[in-house]
Chains A and B, each alone.
Chain A
Amino acid sequence: MSLKNKLHVLKRKFRSSKYAPAFNALHTFLYLPDETTHGGTHIKVADDLKRTMNTVIMAMVPCLIFGMFNAGYQHHLATGAIDAVSGGFFSSEFWTLANFSIGFWKILPLVIVSYGVGLGIEFLFAIIKKHEVEEGYLVTGMLVPLIVPVDIPLWMLAVAVAFGVVIGKEVFGGTGMNILNPALTIRAFLFFAYPTWMSGDKVWVEGAVERANEIAAGANLDAISGETILGSLAQGKDFAYSTADMFLGFIPGSVGETSTLLILLGGLFLIFTKIGSWRIMLSSALGAIVMGLIFNQVADAGIIGEGSKFYGLMNTPFWHHLMIGGFAFGTVFMATDPVTASQTNKGKWIYGFLVGFISILIRVFNPAYPEGVMLAILLMNVFAPTIDHYVIQGNVKKRMKRLKAKVA
């Protein structure tokens, strides 16, 4: 008996048991089910939710791999083991096995914990609530390791994932029903519960926290640190990264957010495959540019002096904002989440613009934590239904007007 038939027999055996959703979830990863249409259309398109989610994951894989190299690169750079990159994107200092192995062994556990805990909870809820395991977490589980600092303790990540999946998603009814982006809910939980692990100049470089602890314990070692560009700007400090570094991604930051180039390619892939909304990505970039330009004007006009603590970020050329911090990553992979974004095409323009606009606003004015994308997207997630409501009211009003014209 072939594997296909064996599994089919097993599926029938499991059908009436409460573990059927768990079995089906695994079975459908191997085989597209034998389900046929009944009632309604007799044929269906080739796409399903698994394919859609898989496409998003494919777009993120380059960022993940780059993140692994970058984790090692930042570590070796901070310890002085290697020199800064000098040869563009394919610099030999960056793409080394030594860099990769540090990142790989550091980031793989993040991925495993993220998927293990998250999918575990999804399976549990599917069994309890007797529905199929939905694919939403496939993307969330990949996003999470990419938006946390590389040194985040695994238990914290596990706690945050559990919180995010249960409170951010399952209490609303699971995939498709949530108000807030689950991955950002997880990150926001980490940010508010363990702020020392989510900001500062130690967490972005592998080994920096450990080294600091050793020094505090009396070890005679050089401290290593790595401040993100945003952190430096917020404190009015200089940083040693060129525009090319920012664009290519040779800078400290959350695991997958640093390479604007690869994120851009991922975004173009999502637009080409029609999985990601180009309206949100484009309008979000526009929103950020507009806000950045406004701040540039304010700084140029001398309204805010060089002594002001906001000057550093306000004076940053507007287009740099698109490349530093998590802006690009958030815009391409998180603002475009169809469940939590606006659902009408017109609404997507407004939603995206405001995500970009507010990101830069928070980024500049938040003294404690110079990153606004996470909070901007979460805020706009909350307002997305309101935006849609007004867009749809336009259509409703048109209908009312037509009726009135008839009656009059």
Chain B
Amino acid sequence: MSNDIKIKKGLNINLKGEAEKTVEQAVISKFCTVRPEDFHSVIPKLIAREGTKLKAGETIFYDKSNEAVKFVSPVSGTVVEVVRGPKRRVDAVKIEVDSEQVYQDNGKFDIDAAQPDAVKAHFLASGCWPFIKQRPYDVVANPSKTPKAIFISGYASAPLAADLDFTLKGKETELQAAINALGKLTSGKIHVSVGANSNSPLAGLTGVTLHKVSGPHPVGNVGTLINKVDPVNKGEVVWTVNAQDLVIIGELLLTGKFNAERIVALAGSEIEKPRYFKTKIGSEVATMIYDKGVAQGAHPRIISGNVLSGKHIKPDGALDYYSNVITVIPEGDDYELFGWNKPVFNKISTSRALTFSWLNPKKVYDLNTNTNGEHRAFVVTGGYEEVFPLDIYPLQVLKACMYKDLDEMEALGMYEVAPEDFALTEFVCVSKQPHQKIIREGLDLMLKEIG
């Protein structure tokens, strides 16, 4: 049986400012910021208060509802500020980075000899656990459940995404170590997707089921892989791990050091010279965009992540825990005379209603953050299905989430999805509805009510 996956439904969004394939060492960030909001539904219990000195890999906080899950510092340094929001919620932990990096030694780990429980304990204790996310609910995995399979996407199809073939090059040893360890934690297989014509370091790994994928975005989303290979049923759990985080896991297993280093793409039309940087989780984006980055006087939107599901951050913000791309595009807070009825050549559209992006699907666009219209009730039908390859009815799931019918949400496939799977339907939505937010709130409700 062929393991190849080919999808037709979807949409490639070609944006200006793709990162050139050169890696620079980013300036060492003065501060490192870890934001608990990156770990959805985790309520942090702080261990490191202001003034605490931390080694890289030492615990900052753990999950209040599951104390075994620890979140560690990507760098060695001193906690200088715990930023709090309403009700004393921890918004961010700001660490002043030492000039000399010291790592907590977790010891070399003998993967081959280890029992599954030992592997799990090592992951939890060393701070690697948060890299494992689970479906249903798209949250940090619950260590008490065994997944039926683990899914890793090695093909990034999102607009301006970092090319994983490039960023993972030469990391085969770390990747293999991580795969070997993860293999002990599941009763099923580890499914890995790579691009059909790619030259991925993941393709040579043993202990994985390889799927060659081709087609438009979201073919590279791990949700698409899950849906096409082995969808989540009620009561089942699958895990997902970002390919680039396997490197950190692998290095920890091999050397005992939690090295939060990651190759990040700096991309987008507002960047003078888009390219790759070697940096660390939590580093200030200013360390990358100051040189040949954003022009003077520009008015950009800086995004930690891709333009479809990344987070809006301020110029003094930091790279989040899971992203390997920083995208900078122009803000679009300006009016456009008769923008709703004049012919449009410089924006993407899936219709042909005096929009002309269908003429040249390969054209590269410089899109800004304007919504191109106001928020409306759902009216148009049939458009989402064209860009949604999962075997789920997108409009109906969204509506079920909006009227909070748990039975219907369950029946329509909410266990299988993550907000990111609805990024394209949100992009093409004529009514400008916040699909990802609707799905996130639906998942939160299910997590709370069903668990």
Contact = CB atoms under 8 A, between A and B. Distances in A.
Given A4-B337, A8-B335, A42-B301, A49 B431 contact: yes
Given A8-B335, A39-B437, A47-B373, A339 B379 contact: yes
B3 interface: no
Given A51-B373, A343-B395, A399-B413, A42 B233 contact: no
Interface stretch (B76-84, B279-287, B420-428): B420-428
A406 B233 contact: yes
A30 to B, nearest CB: 7
A38 B310 CA distance: 11
B339 interface: yes
B430 A47 contact: yes
B226 to A, nearest CB: 13
Interface stretch (B18-26, B39-47, B352-360): B352-360
B350 A31 contact: no
A41 interface: yes
A45 B353 contact: no
A344 B335 contact: no
A18 interface: no
Interface residues of B, number: 76
Contact of A36 (B310, B331, B391): B331
B412 interface: yes
Given A42-B308, A274-B352, A338-B379, A48 B332 contact: no
B149 to A, nearest CB: 12
A338 B391 CA distance: 22
B413 A44 contact: no
A132 interface: yes
Interface centre among A7, A51, A136, A341 (most CB of B within 10 A): A51
Interface in A275-295: 275, 277
Given A41-B423, A42-B308, A274-B352, A32 B339 contact: yes
Nearest to A136: B379
Given A174-B377, A345-B385, A403-B233, A43 B427 contact: yes
Given A42-B303, A273-B351, A395-B412, A34 B334 contact: yes
B427 A272 contact: no
A89 B413 CA distance: 54
Contact of B307 (A39, A42, A173, A341): A42
B374 A399 contact: no
Interface in A44-85: 44-52, 54-55
B332 A30 contact: no
A32 B335 contact: yes
A33 to B, nearest CB: 6
A253 B308 CA distance: 50
Interface string B8-49: 000001010000000000000000000000000000000000
Nearest to A3: B337
B337 A30 contact: yes
Nearest to B311: A39
A274 B353 CA distance: 8
Interface string B281-312: 00000000000000000000101000111101
A396 B430 contact: no
Contacts of A51: 340-341, 351, 353-355, 373, 430
Given A34-B334, A395-B391, A40 B434 contact: yes
A36 B411 CA distance: 34
A177 interface: yes
Nearest to B349: A46
Contacts of A400: 411
Interface centre among A39, A48, A175 (most CB of B within 10 A): A48
Interface residues of A, number: 62
Contacts of A12: none
Given A36-B369, A51-B341, A275 B351 contact: yes
B370 A45 contact: no
A45 B428 contact: yes
Interface centre among A7, A29, A36 (most CB of B within 10 A): A36
Given A48-B340, A50-B341, A395 B393 contact: yes
B372 A46 contact: yes
A398 B382 CA distance: 21
Interface centre among A29, A37, A43, A52 (most CB of B within 10 A): A43
B377 A43 contact: no
B427 A38 contact: no
B379 A132 contact: no
B355 to A, nearest CB: 5
Contacts of B301: 36, 42
A101 interface: no
Nearest to B387: A45
A34 B335 contact: yes
Contacts of B348: 43, 45-46
A273 to B, nearest CB: 4
A48 B436 CA distance: 18
B329 A43 contact: yes
A40 B371 contact: no
A390 B431 CA distance: 26
B158 to A, nearest CB: 11
Contacts of A339: 379
Contacts of A86: none
Contacts of B411: 396, 399-400
A176 interface: yes
Nearest to B309: A41
Interface in A170-190: 173-177
Given A42-B312, A173-B377, A344-B396, 4 more contacts: A54-B340, A277-B381, A392-B393, A403-B235
6 interchain residue pairs of minimum CB distance: A48-B373, A32-B339, A176-B377, A46-B347, A31-B335, A50-B340
26 contacts: A4-B335, A30-B338, A31-B336, A32-B338, A34-B334, A35-B374, A40-B309, A41-B436, A42-B301, A44-B370, A45-B350, A46-B349, A47-B353, A47-B430, A48-B371, A49-B374, A49-B376, A49-B430, A54-B353, A135-B376, A176-B431, A274-B351, A343-B395, A344-B381, A345-B382, A406-B233
